[in-house]
Chains A and B, each alone.
Chain A
Amino acid sequence: MSESDKEVKELIKREYEHGFVTEIESETFEPGLNEDVIRRLSAKKNEPEWMLEWRLQAYKVWQEMEDPEWAHVNFPKIDYNDIAYYSAPKSKDDGPKSLDEVDPELLKTYEKLGIPLHERARLAGVAVDAVFDSVSVTTTFKDKLTEAGVIFCPISEAVHKHPELIKKYLGSVVPQKDNYYAALNSAVFSDGSFVYIPKGVRCPLELSTYFRINEAKTGQFERTLIIAEERSHVSYLEGCTAPMRDENQLHAAVVELVAMDDAEIKYSTVQNWYPGDEEGRGGIYNFVTKRGACIGKNSKISWTQVETGSAITWKYPSCVLRGEGSVGEFYSVALTNNAQQADTGTKMIHIGKNTKSTIISKGISAGKSDSSYRGLVKIAPTAESSRNYTQCDSLLIGDKCGAHTFPYIENKNKSAIVEHEATTSKVSDDQLFLCQQRGIDAEQAVSMIVNGFCKEVFKELPMEFAVEATKLLEVSLEGSVG
């Protein structure tokens, strides 16, 4: 074994940083899914009758659907009766009223994850909603946001406090029957964030949700809904981690964004769910439906994602560009290492006149992983003078990994312009040799080269996230040089 091989072996053994389990007493449903489970879940959250009805309807829809098999990923069939659909840390009464009532173990967990929830230690300029398994633990900076008229709360709370908004918009972008996982989520969603930005308000803070799966054998089904009224602006960040376990865990989330006239929503994700070990044991199945509707004129929705975790990622943050002159953007870095699989991309649906979309996708495959870009650009007959630009680059590290590109273009309007560019490259021995010859070791060199490759996407991320994303790539790439 050469020296570099030995180093690689040692590095691979390095553990997933967020893989710890919080020892906390929790109330968890027995695994299994049926109408009764949904009723109990709804009752746990004291939901009004209409919410329960909505869930039951979704459950019916889901039962009639088949799980999708078109994605370029392989995994054994999921037994949905082997998953628990609700788990929450036990608390004195309905939920903590203030941070003092939050279990100190939970606060420690978030501190360990680098998300301090205490007033004095909070991240400057970022309001955080911390979701632990099926419930929201706390939301920071509530007062400051209320002052600006911004609503930022757990979606379970919004069901009670803002039923008219939930009734109007929940499922308006991603309908219950949209796809198998979205239907499942609609039936059993546990918690998530709700954001409402009133007319003309520029949200004074970055909003952020931190999702944490803790309990074994549970699924996480969060639901996020963001509504940006006319001329408003919001930047929302999402982060996720989970403990290391040998079994796979399911995460099936739904995110819906609604942008009115001249509103702008920027949605950034740094996804670092546990990816499984080097043999592919364990890890999160990340099957997520994210979609934004640009309803208003000149509205804009921008998705930026850095996907480094999960055993399997199945995710296509999309934009429906309905409003005239609306803009959709998708910037993505998806990195797979070891035995990870990713099938990710976007859909840009142009309906309104003069709508524009930009897709920049960077796929990095290392180890024996497989990464696919799947994208749809659809120009409706009504989308006069619309434009799309797609750039799709793949970078391979080593010779056991794979990269695939599946672009679909449907153009039904002659005045529209659709451009697609794609490249595949390898981190070459010559590049590594040049770096090493200048004193930079192979690990550092690969991480530098990959960061260079992702530059166009990283510059779209909010500052704090860009730094985190760079670090995350370094960790995820460890052991990829062989």
Chain B
Amino acid sequence: MLDIKDLQASVEEKQILKGLNLEVKLGEVHAIMGPNGSGKSTLSQVLAGNQAYEVNGGTVTFNGQDLLDMSIEDRAREGVFLAFQYPVEIPGVSNLQFLRTAINNIRQHRGEGEINAAEFMKQAKAKIQQVNLDPSFLKRGVNEGFSGGEKKRNEIMQMLMLEPSLAILDETDSGLDIDALRVVADGVNALRSPDRAVVMVTHYQRLLDYIVPDYVHVLAGGKIIKSGGKELALELEEKGYGWLGLEDNAESEA
């Protein structure tokens, strides 16, 4: 469903992705690991269409369409979802209103009518409980005054509501305690199905204990330098990125 060929991208004139190749098929879960500054977040931002990044080479095909040629909202409407590393707040716009607007846009894109209000409420209540947040969060402004963990859960809640065909998680696990990590993992696992795919970008192996990937890729210097099965993550955990001749500057991230 997703085919990335020789992708090159820069931000503020600094070349980050330098010829990245990746193929993701329906039903698969891919983990992209790598040291900081390797281009992990750039990859997720570019796929979602963040205009702060400039694509200067390569192609991305999504379900047979040229993804890079699509607007941000059309990518989303076609089923691309990005769970943000740092979700922003939108004061005064309730989660409910936000989700309903999003869902109706996606439905309209598919030629469907607006979602039934009662059905929507039922789903929203179920999904907010699924990520262990109090239903009162539905009426609060999007991420307004939420803690870091609550914001991440809210991202997963949105993902569950929008039911994307391609979910990209941008270091969703960073800064989470073990309970929140479980909630996130449960959410992603619940979404796993033969007609969806998940791309998880993460620095740590920890998340992969809960969401077992089909493939693990190591991203370094803007390219994927090694791919393997889930055991690759364990090997990385044991030997560190230094094992691949890479410098891990994780400390500087904190």
A residues contacting B by CB (< 8 A) are 3, 428-431, 433-442, 444, 448-449, 451-456
B101 at interface by CB-CB < 8 Å:
yes
Q: Mark B36-55, 1 if CB is under 8 A from A, else 0.
A: 00000000000011111000
Cα(A438)–Cα(B102), bound, Å = 6
Nearest residue, chain B, Cβ from A433:
B50
Nearest residue, chain A, Cβ from B76:
A439
Q: Contacts A433-B50, A452-B93 given: A439-B88 contact, CB under 8 Å?
A: no
Q: Is the CB of A449 within 8 A of B90?
A: yes
Q: Is the CB of B97 within 8 A of A437?
A: no
Q: Is the CB of B48 within 8 A of A437?
A: yes
Q: Is the CB of A439 within 8 A of B73?
A: yes
A434 neighbours in B (Cβ, 8 Å): 84, 87-88, 90, 142
Cα(A243)–Cα(B82), bound, Å = 46
Give min CB distance, A2 to chain B, whole Å. Answer: 9
Cα(A438)–Cα(B81), bound, Å = 7
Q: Is the CB of B72 within 8 A of A433?
A: yes
B106 at interface by CB-CB < 8 Å:
yes
Q: Is the interface of A mostly helix, strand, loop or mixed?
A: helix
B71 neighbours in A (Cβ, 8 Å): 3, 436, 441
Q: Is the CB of B50 within 8 A of A444?
A: no
Q: Is the CB of A451 within 8 A of B92?
A: yes
Nearest residue, chain A, Cβ from B101:
A440
- Contacts A437-B81, A452-B91 known; 14 new A-B pairs at CB < 8 A: A428-B88, A433-B72, A434-B84, A437-B48, A437-B75, A438-B102, A438-B162, A440-B98, A441-B73, A444-B105, A448-B98, A448-B101, A449-B92, A452-B90
B residues contacting A by CB (< 8 A) are 48-52, 71-73, 75-77, 81-82, 84, 87-88, 90-93, 97-99, 101-103, 105-106, 109, 141-142, 158, 162
Q: Is the CB of A452 within 8 A of B92?
A: yes
B48 neighbours in A (Cβ, 8 Å): 433, 437
Nearest residue, chain A, Cβ from B142:
A434
Nearest residue, chain B, Cβ from A423:
B91
Nearest residue, chain A, Cβ from B94:
A452
Give min CB distance, A477 to chain B, whole Å. Answer: 15
A428 neighbours in B (Cβ, 8 Å): 88
Q: Is the CB of B90 within 8 A of A439?
A: no
Nearest residue, chain A, Cβ from B52:
A429
Q: Is the CB of A440 within 8 A of B102?
A: yes
Q: Is the CB of A436 within 8 A of B72?
A: yes
Q: Is the CB of A440 within 8 A of B105?
A: yes
A431 neighbours in B (Cβ, 8 Å): 88, 90
> Which of A433, A444, A453, A456 is close to B101, meaning CB atoms less than 8 Å apart?
A444
Cα(A448)–Cα(B97), bound, Å = 9
Give min CB distance, B112 to chain A, whole Å. Answer: 13
Q: Is the CB of A437 within 8 A of B76?
A: yes
16 contacts between A and B (CB under 8 A): A428-B88, A429-B51, A431-B88, A433-B72, A434-B84, A434-B88, A436-B73, A437-B82, A438-B105, A442-B73, A448-B90, A448-B101, A449-B92, A452-B141, A454-B92, A455-B92
A440 neighbours in B (Cβ, 8 Å): 73, 98, 101-102, 105
Cα(A472)–Cα(B72), bound, Å = 27
Q: Is the CB of B82 within 8 A of A439?
A: no
